[in-house]
Amino acid sequence: MSSKRIIIVGAGPAGLAAAGVLARLGASVTLIDKDPDMGGHLSKWHQLFPDRSSAQILLEQLVSEVPDEVSRIMGREVIGGNVRTNQVDLKLDEGTWITGDGLLLATGFDLFDAHRKEEYGYGIYDNVYTQAEVEQMFENGRIENRSGKIPQSIAFLHCVGSRDQKVGVSYCSKVCCVTGVKQAIEMREKLPDAIIYNFYMDLRMFGQGFEELYHDAQEKYNIRFIRGRISEAAENQQGKVIIKAEDTLTARPLKLTVDMLILLCGMQPSKHTANLADTFGFTTGPDGFLKPLGPSQNTFRTRHPHVMLAGACTGPATLTEAIQAGRSASLALYEQLFNIIN
C-alpha cells in the first residue's frame, strides 16, 4: 500500500491526537496551525477537570505521540485552496501550496469575546477577568488583582456568551459550568479565607465526575452558589466591583461588592474555522460551527469523502471529546482514502 498524504489543519488536542494515529498507520502527515506552538487552548491551561490533573503533562503526552516524521508548519494560516475528488490543495499565507490526498480539519474554537457584554465591564473595569486569564494566574502560581493585591472576595459568573439570545448565542457551551466549579475550588485552596460566589442559571454537570466535583465545591470548599444572573457591574473608587443580581430561588435582589469578577465565557466558532468554511464552501450550522453530514453516525464526515472534521470546530466539546473525535476521525479518513484510491 502506498503512503497517503494527509493534511491536518489545527494542532490542538484533536489535531495532535489525529496526527499521532495517522502517522502510526504509515500516512505521510502534515500538521498546520496558525499559532507558533502546538496545543491550542490546552497549552494555556493549568489543571483539568474533573480530576485536577496537569494540563501540561497531557499536552506533553499528546505531542510525544506525534512522531518526528510528521511535518509541522506552525505559525501559518490556510488562506485558500481547492478540494477536488481525490486531492486537496491548500494555500498558506506566505504563498506556498500544500497538496494531500485527504484533509482533517481540527480548527477548534475561540472564547466568546467578553467585551460584547458591556454590562459586565470587561475591558472597562480593572478587576473583571475571563476564566482564561484566571487560569494563567493559576499557572503562574499567584492570584492577585491588577493593583497587585490578593483578593478576599471573588464572584464567578456562568454562561457569558452562552444561552444568551441578546448576543445571538442560543446553545450551551458544555464546559463553562464545570470550569467555574473547578476554578472556584482552586481559588479556595490558594485563598482559604476568601469569600467565593458562583452565579449560575442552572448547573449542567453532565460529565463523569462533574457532579461529584460540584458537591465537593459546596460541602468541602464552602463555595457559595447563587442561582441568578448578574444584571450589571460597576466599579467603586477603591477599584472593587459592585454587582447587582437577583437570587431567583428566593426572588430577592442582591448587591455585592467583590475584589474580582470572573466571566466564564462560552465557546464560539474560531475565526479560522469561519474563513475555511468560506474558502471551501463547507456547510455551517446556525451557530456558525462546521456541520458534519449527520448528527449520529456521520459526525466526522463532510460532503467531500476525503475531508473529515474533528473536535470543537463542529461545536462545543470537552477535552476528552475532542481527543476522541480526533482519533476517530483520523481512522475514518484513513479507511476512506483506501476505499477511494485503491
C-alpha–C-alpha distance, residues 107 and 9, integer Å: 6
> What's the whole-number mean pLDDT along residues 15-25?
97
Q: Tell me the sheet residues that pair with 230.
A: 245
Quick one: average pLDDT of 176-202?
97
| Region 279-301 average pLDDT | 85
Mean pLDDT is lowest, of 70-74, 255-259, 272-276, 322-326, for 272-276
In the chain, the domains with their CATH numbers are 5-108+270-341 (3.50.50.60), 114-266 (3.50.50.60)
* Gyration radius of the chain over CA positions: 22
Query: What is the predicted pLDDT for the residue at 2?
Result: 55
Given this model, what pLDDT does residue 294 score? 74
Question: How far is residue 213's CA from residue 178's CA, in Å, rounded to a whole number?
Answer: 8
Average pLDDT over residues 311-330: 96
Distance CA 133, CA 153 (A): 17
Q: Which long-range contacts (CB under 8 A, 24 or more apart) does 297-302 make?
A: 299/325, 300/325, 300/328, 300/329, 300/332, 300/333, 301/332
pLDDT tops 80 at residue 55 = yes
- Mean pLDDT of all residues belonging to the chain: 94
- Between the alpha carbon of residue 204 and those of residues 49, 178, 338, the distances in Å are 14, 8, 41
Q: pLDDT, tens digit, for every residue of 99-155?
A: 999 999 999 999 999 999 999 999 999 999 999 999 999 999 999 999 899 999 999
pTM, 2 dp? 0.93
Q: Give residue 339's pLDDT.
A: 74
Evaluate if residue 342 carries a pLDDT over 90. Answer: no
The mean per-residue pLDDT over the stretch 58-70 comes to: 97
- The pLDDT value recorded for residue 147 is 87
Number of residues that make up the chain: 342
Band of the pLDDT at 3, cuts 50, 70, 90?
Answer: confident
Confidence of residue 80 (pLDDT cuts 50, 70, 90): very high
Confidence label for 297 from pLDDT (cuts 50, 70 and 90): low
pLDDT band (50, 70, 90) for residue 207: confident
Confidence of residue 48 (pLDDT cuts 50, 70, 90): very high
